[in-house]
């Protein structure tokens, strides 16, 4: 039996109502190349729900994620690590490690590597900001690792005349981050990771991997993680007017669920 999350859609919607006015007060209004509203809400919600005694973030950029964590947990120490951009809005706290620690990764490193490092250090709660789809991104992501033929909706065919190829071509016309079959598949029909490559360190340190290695990576992740959860988009493209997000690659949007719930209550 799969382990269930501790929160429900109602909890997410209640949190969203609380978070919107908080987000309006953010000090960095233009966080281009950084976290937007959806991921900011997800990070805030998880931190507030878990109530860790220490938070560690790897990758700070302008300090927006530090600010989000601080809004969720005003008195919890934060340790911020960044190879490029020091945090500008960090309220420093004492540096110590306890059992309930939340680590936030926004450093564009191989997420399999980060999971292993975190486990070796005894950390249990991990949040990753950039969870790239198969065929995209500058590092090997958990979503790529979990893209397997034995998992529902996972695995791909590189046959150019397949249904998947036709659907991908249509999606490419509407969504900036959609990947067509030619972009997905590399030499020898290698589709896993990014065309058969395990990317790392902002796409500066890469190595080819076989499907057997990719498969074993998935088995390792399954054996070590109790819960894997992806934040659903807060709203669909019709409300946000975004063209980068491909709705076919994610979960149902949160506000759509709220509308359905509201309609259902009216029918009783």
* pLDDT for 2 beyond 60: no
Q: 1-130: which CATH architecture?
A: 3-Layer(aba) Sandwich (3.40)
The pLDDT score that the predictor gives to residue 74 is 92
Q: Which of 139, 172, 179, 176 is nearest to 156 (CA)?
A: 179
Q: Where are the alpha helices (DSSP H) in the chain?
A: 9-23, 37-50, 64-72, 111-120, 142-145, 163-172, 181-184, 192-195, 211-224, 237-240, 254-267
Alpha-carbon separation of residue 33 from 36, 42, 127 (angstroms)? 9, 17, 18
Q: Which residue has the tokens 């975004």?
A: 242
| Residue environment code for 44-57, b if the CB has 16+ CB neighbours within 10 A, otherwise e | bbbbebbebbbbbb
Can you read off the two tokens belonging to residue 201?
Answer: 């360190």
Reported as a single tens digit per residue, the pLDDT across 76-92 is: 999 888 765 443 333 43
Show me where the domains of the chain are located.
Answer: 1-130, 133-224
Which of these, 79, 26, 73, lies nearest to 47 by C-alpha position? 73
Q: What is the pTM of this model?
A: 0.73
Question: Residue 69 in 3-state DSSP?
Answer: helix
Query: What's the pLDDT at 134?
Result: 94
Most confident of 64-78, 143-157, 201-215: 201-215
First to last CA, the chain: 32
Q: Are 230 and 250 spatial neighbours (Cβ–Cβ below 8 Å)?
A: yes
Distance CA 130, CA 268 (A): 41
Q: Which long-range contacts (CB under 8 A, 24 or more apart) does 165-169 make?
A: 167/248
φ, ψ (nearest 5 deg) of residue 81: -120, 130
Residue 155: pLDDT band by 50, 70, 90 thresholds?
very high
- pLDDT attached to residue 245: 64
pLDDT at 257 over 80: no
Task: Report the distance separating Cα 48 and Cα 247, nearest Å.
Answer: 27
Tokens of 209: 């991997």
């Amino acid at each position: 039996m799969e382990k269930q999350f501790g929160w429900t859609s109602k909890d997410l919607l209640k949190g969203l109502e609380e978070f919107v006015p908080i987000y309006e007060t953010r000090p960095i209004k233009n966080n281009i190349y950084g976290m937007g509203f959806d991921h900011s809400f997800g990070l805030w919600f998880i931190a507030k729900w878990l109530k860790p005694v220490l938070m560690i973030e790897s990758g700070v950029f302008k300090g927006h994620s530090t600010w989000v964590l601080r809004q969720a947990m005003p008195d919890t120490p934060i340790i911020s690590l960044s190879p490029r951009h020091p945090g500008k809005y960090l309220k420093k706290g004492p540096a110590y490690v306890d059992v309930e620690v939340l680590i936030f990764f926004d450093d564009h490193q191989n997420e399999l590597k980060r999971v292993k490092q975190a486990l070796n250090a005894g950390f249990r709660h991990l949040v990753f900001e950039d969870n790239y789809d198969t065929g995209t991104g500058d590092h090997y992501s958990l979503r790529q690792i979990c893209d397997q033929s034995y998992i529902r909706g996972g695995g791909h065919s590189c046959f150019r005349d397949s249904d998947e190829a036709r659907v991908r071509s249509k999606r490419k016309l509407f969504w900036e981050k959609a990947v067509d079959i030619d972009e997905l598949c590399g030499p020898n029909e290698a589709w896993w990771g990014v065309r058969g490559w395990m990317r790392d360190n902002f796409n500066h340190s890469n190595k080819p991997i076989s499907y057997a290695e990719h498969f074993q990576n998935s088995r390792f992740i399954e054996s070590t993680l109790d819960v894997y959860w992806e934040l659903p988009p807060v709203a669909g493209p019709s409300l946000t007017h975004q063209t980068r997000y491909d709705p076919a690659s994610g979960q149902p949007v949160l506000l759509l669920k709220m509308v359905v719930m509201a309609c259902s209550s009216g029918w009783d």
